[in-house]
Chains A and B, each alone.
Chain A
Amino acid sequence: MSQPPRNLEDIQQWLQAVITHPDGIAAGVESFDAQQQIDVSAADLESVIPRSQARTSIERLAVYGNAYFARLVECMRELFPALVHALGEELFDGFSLEYLQKYPSRSYTLEHLADHFIQFLQETRPDEAEASWPDFIIDLARFEWTIDDIFNGPGVEQERLLTVEQLQAIPPQRWPDARLVPVVCLRLLAFKYPVNDYYTEFRQGNEPALPEPAESFVALSRRDYIVRRYELTRPQFQLLTALVAGNSVGDAIGLCAEASDDLDSLAADLQDWFRLWAADGFFQRVELPE
């Protein structure tokens, strides 16, 4: 070769710009980003990427170009299977393509591929004040992404959790000051749509239609390395949220009572709720002040 080789960094910047261009290889070669690195036209591409006996330079590059979005969109489908059903593959793929252009992967692991997807959906949602299908889409995306997060995140499988018996052994006079420490994998989610019901229907192989708006509350956690879903009522969600925020049991109940219009019912339910949540492994331990 008579000329010195091109700089490796220039070649890599150029190739990345070419194969990740959404309009294909020829458009990628002519793009500003590619031209800044290597000033070559699609017609002269062989001076950078020689043709093979059977394939032109553009055809050869297209293997990478076709694969770039196709492989990552496939991953997005696997991360959000219920959302794919809700939107239909074509629309979901369209959202994913736009997302991947705006927020390309910057991590060594695919686990972070959808880190900005909820943000992207919020940024691009139609501007409507009332709850409408974009809210359902965002709710469902948030639900599935939280499941992914819990599945591979920290858990408590190797640790002792607070038992129902330990909970019941707390002297009544010490209850108000007790703090219940939640397990690290517990997440509390509030939605404008019944996404957990929709998800259940989807997983059962049914063809759920887009639901009507209806507030819903869900706790997600993990036991035995499997993500578990728990439907909550609004008061349960409020109480758990207050506990997770670090409030004492007394303060948390107080906050919940302020928002409740049925104190008798709340008082009657509290004991069952705590027992149920301890049995479901929501709490790591109880902390009692000295």
Chain B
Amino acid sequence: MALPRLGYENLGLGVGLRSVHFPYILQNNPAVDWFEIISENFMDSQGRPRWVLDQLAERYHIVMHGVSMSIGSTDPLNFEYFKKLKKLADAVDARWVSDHLCWTGVAGRNSHDLLPIPFNEQTLDHVVGRIRIVQDLLERPLVLENPSSYVTFADSTLSEWEFLTRMADEADCGLLLDVNNVYVSSVNHDFDPVEFIENVPYERVVQFHLAGHTNMGTYCIDTHDGHVIDPVWDLYRLAHKLTGGVSTLLEWDAKIPPFTEVHAEVLKARRHMTSQLHDVPIPLTAPGPPDASAMPHPLHLVVPEVQ
């Protein structure tokens, strides 16, 4: 039986570190419990991003969250990538290292997107085997997130939560439960998000993600460009109750407001931890006007500073 959260501590309420907020954070030392970084933005940096990270690592807990591990890909694992990932994790004393249950490319290519996998025994064996290797390389348990997805496969024989449960047990890894992604995928794939939340192995949930998304009317896109909507907070309350509370992180990646607004959004979680659960099922919100420019999971580039 795994220790709750694999023994990882509950860090409290954190914010995803984005470069537009570097100056504010360095100047004001905001009272944030912890920061989550996009690993790939810092792994190779020998410039300002890495310098900023080093400063913050002295003052804050840091968690590393990757977007290119491609744990589900049938391409060989990139050992150079893991070497750099571990080096950074050791250097900034990362509390844990996470990525997504997905693949990003095959045949040597990288789509830089979080692509879905079919949930079946073949994929399970493949992913579990790779997680074990990665955990040996990183010398720590891996934490994997359920990504938002927009298609399902005829070749799937398991539900996503069944797959997550068996994967976590067989590979002895942790889970990053993205509550917003559960909601987005539930709309896109016609499943009950409450059933998902109730059936993940919550003793293995190390961390929650929260974010805003865009409702396109007949589907949702995980745009990370706004406030967390009430139905997602409802799911968060349920997940908080089931897990007993784990580290919670807000992601805001497009139309990014000032830092104080991003921080205030995650602090809303406090009142949801203590309030009563709504009656299930979670209702769908009314769609906003379709946004033709909505893009899933915005990419992160640190734009150079030049004089």
Contacts and interface: CB of A to CB of B under 8 A. Distances in A.
A and B interact? yes
Contact of B157 (A1, A64, A72): A1
A109 interface: yes
Contacts of B307: 226-229
Instruction: Give the size category of B's interface with A.
Output: 35 or more
B107 interface: yes
Interface string B131-152: 0000000000000000000111
Given A55-B219, A151-B306, A12 B74 contact: yes
Contacts, number: 170
B157 A5 contact: yes
A126 interface: no
A241 interface: no
Interface residues of A, number: 61
B210 interface: no
Contact of A68 (B40, B47, B111, B188): B111
Given A151-B48, A152-B46, A225-B47, A50 B40 contact: no
A105 B68 CA distance: 12
Given A11-B155, A52-B189, A226 B306 contact: yes
A55 B149 CA distance: 14
Contacts of A67: 113, 295-296
Interface in A94-142: 104-111
B47 A155 contact: yes
Given A52-B188, A54-B219, A20 B111 contact: yes
A267 interface: no
B118 A8 contact: yes
16 contacts: A12-B73, A12-B74, A12-B115, A16-B107, A46-B154, A52-B219, A63-B296, A68-B113, A72-B112, A105-B110, A107-B110, A108-B40, A108-B68, A108-B70, A110-B112, A226-B48
Given A8-B126, A225-B48, 9 more contacts: A1-B155, A8-B117, A52-B152, A64-B113, A74-B299, A105-B110, A110-B300, A151-B304, A203-B306
Interface of B: 40, 43-49, 51, 68, 70, 73-74, 78, 81, 103, 105-113, 115, 117-118, 120-123, 126, 150-155, 157, 188-190, 218-219, 221, 295-296, 298-307
